[in-house]
Amino acid sequence: MAPITVACSLNIYEAEAKGASSTAAVLAAAGVIEIRIRLRYQLRIKAYGVEELIEDVITPELSNPFSMPLTFLFPELSITHVWNMLQSLDVDANACDYLSPKIAEFAVDVAKRRGAMENSSERTVITVAEVEITKVDFIFEEEFDKLGDKLC
């Protein structure tokens, strides 16, 4: 098979936290980041001028909230913290490298803008990162021919 193509899309925004994650974040004097990941795998045949989608699997959305201690408001620490959280979810290292700075910088900006240091128990704002990671495998002419020989 040819090299695998991996693509990431990211939608990041702030939202009001509800329930236990809000309370935990306030008690820990932390910001909350909720990562919502959807994985997609596609297998495509691209041979003899034809491209055909063979398999398209989309996983249910995995939602994982985690806190970011306010001591991590420094860019390097926050990026590393987010990278480690993504890695714990088995996200590809290249995707972690792409996503971590974007998510961390947004979360730090939200925490600073909303005065996270004030420790308001009434409302906690969280950063929500909706991530879709698509992995595409291609079967080209040579592999296609090999598969045909095995089936016949």
End-to-end CA distance of the chain: 20
CB 30 within 8 A of CB 69: yes
What pTM, to 2 d.p., does this model score? 0.73
Please report the pLDDT score of residue 22 as a whole number: 47
- For 135, residues 6+ apart whose C-beta sits below 8 A from its C-beta are 4, 5, 6, 39, 40, 41, 42, 92
pLDDT of residue 29: 55
The Cα–Cα gap between 121 and 118 comes to: 9
pLDDT along the chain (152 residues), means of 10: 78 78 49 88 89 92 83 77 90 90 88 63 73 91 77 64
pLDDT for the residue numbered 9: 93
What pLDDT score was predicted for residue 71?
Answer: 62
User: So where are the chain's domains?
Assistant: 5-151
Q: Which residue has the tokens 């309370």?
A: 23
